[in-house]
């Protein structure tokens, strides 16, 4: 008992485990083989937000896809709640780089898509979809088509769609990368709100240092070619995080640490 209280991250059973995962493209041991990911080992705790931070081409999206069951690992495997991932799992929500909405569906129908696939698109699901849309401030747009929405609004719809079936894990692939900075900061606070309300575990791919520091409990810094975790940074910034957090000394210190790990900040600078 006391061990559990002392530290949530060292709790007996991690939520998900990444076990020696590697991924290579091309013929095994062939001349043109590219190693995208090498020996990634990490335990994700229940309710944690892990940011995968690295330059483009470092395999962080590949790792996310392996966790999602969209791609198979060349070596090693991923376990979620002790079960080996062999394909997309039911209780996972996925947010793409683009909103990826269906232009022919209304906002509500887009959010309902996963429930339709699960065969649970009843009135209760619809009510939940409306609640989610209200939470992200889109009540007035429920019956609109995506084309009437701004980029930030579309990505909020995509977030609702990923949450509609109450997944225990949310996988996000640079979800706010295409948004302008102000909208992105709003989305950050929205995501933090969602996490406060539900104990969803989140894996978040980004190449933005400040985004990773602001959102994450743990940052895994990746190097490119082959993609490897070069550093793990524990983010101890207190919750709730807000605009003030972004200007705190601790925040800047963490940004510097991540920047150094990425090789973009010189240690002596």
Partner 1 sequence: MLLPATGLFLLLACWQIGVRVLGISPAILPPPLLVARSVQDNAALLAVEGWVTLRESLYGFLLAFIVGVPIAVGIVSSRLLDRMFYPLLIATQSLPKVALAPIVLIWLGTGMESKVAIAALVAFFPIVVDTAAGLRGTSAELLELARVNRATQFQTFRKVRFPAALPFILAGSKVAVTLAVIGAVIGEFVGSDDGLGNLLLVANAQLNTAMAFAALTALAVLGMVLYAAVAGIEMLLRPWLGEVRHG
Query: What is the token pair recorded at 144?
Result: 């609109």
Q: Considering beta carbons, is residue 171 or 229 the nearer one to partner 1? A: 171
Beta-bridge mates of residue 19: 77
Q: Considering beta carbons, is residue 114 or 227 the nearer one to partner 1? A: 114
Q: Considering beta carbons, is residue 49 or 158 the nearer one to partner 1? A: 158
Q: How far is the CB of 90 from partner 1 (least distance, A)?
A: 6
- Phi, psi of 201, deg, nearest 5: -80, 135
CA–CA gap between residue 45 and residue 108 (Å, rounded): 32
The H-or-E segment that residue 253 falls in is helix 249-262
- Phi, psi of 157, deg, nearest 5: -60, -45
Q: Considering beta carbons, is residue 205 or 213 the nearer one to partner 1? A: 205
CA angle (156 as vertex; 245, 236 as ends), nearest 5: 25
Q: How far is the CB of 143 from partner 1 (least distance, A)?
A: 11
Q: How far is the CB of 263 from partner 1 (least distance, A)?
A: 31
Binding residues vs partner 1 (CB under 8 A): 68-70, 87-88, 90, 92, 94, 96, 98, 100, 102-105, 113-114, 116-118, 145-147
Q: How far is the CB of 114 from partner 1 (least distance, A)?
A: 5
Q: How far is the CB of 125 from partner 1 (least distance, A)?
A: 14
Give the residue from 236, 257, 228, 170 showing the smallest Cα distance to 42.
Answer: 228
CA–CA gap between residue 218 and residue 233 (Å, rounded): 6
Q: Considering beta carbons, is residue 32 or 104 the nearer one to partner 1? A: 104
């Amino acid at each position: 008992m006391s061990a559990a209280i002392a530290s949530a991250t060292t709790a007996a059973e991690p939520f998900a485990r990444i076990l020696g995962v590697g991924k290579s493209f091309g013929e095994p041991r062939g001349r043109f083989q590219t190693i995208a990911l090498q020996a990634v080992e990490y335990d994700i705790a229940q309710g944690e937000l892990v940011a995968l931070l690295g330059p483009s081409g470092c395999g962080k999206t590949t790792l996310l896809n392996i966790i999602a069951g969209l791609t198979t690992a060349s070596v090693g495997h991923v376990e979620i709640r002790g079960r080996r991932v062999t394909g997309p799992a039911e209780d996972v929500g996925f947010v793409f780089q683009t909103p990826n909405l269906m232009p022919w569906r209304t906002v509500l129908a887009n959010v309902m898509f996963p429930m339709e696939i699960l065969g649970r698109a009843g009135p209760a699901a619809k009510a939940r979809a409306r609640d989610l849309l209200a939470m992200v401030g889109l009540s007035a747009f429920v019956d609109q088509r995506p084309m009437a929405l701004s980029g930030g609004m579309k990505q909020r719809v995509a977030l609702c769609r990923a949450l509609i079936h109450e997944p225990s894990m949310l996988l996000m692939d640079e979800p706010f990368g295409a948004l302008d900075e102000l909208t992105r900061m709003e989305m950050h606070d929205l995501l933090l709100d969602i996490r406060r309300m539900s104990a969803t575990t989140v894996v978040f791919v980004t190449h933005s240092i400040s985004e990773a520091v602001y959102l994450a409990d743990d940052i895994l810094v990746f190097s490119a070619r082959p993609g490897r975790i070069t550093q793990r940074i524990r983010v101890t910034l207190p919750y709730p995080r807000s605009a003030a957090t972004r200007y705190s000394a601790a925040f800047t210190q963490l940004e510097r640490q991540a920047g150094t790990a990425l090789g973009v900040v010189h240690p002596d600078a």
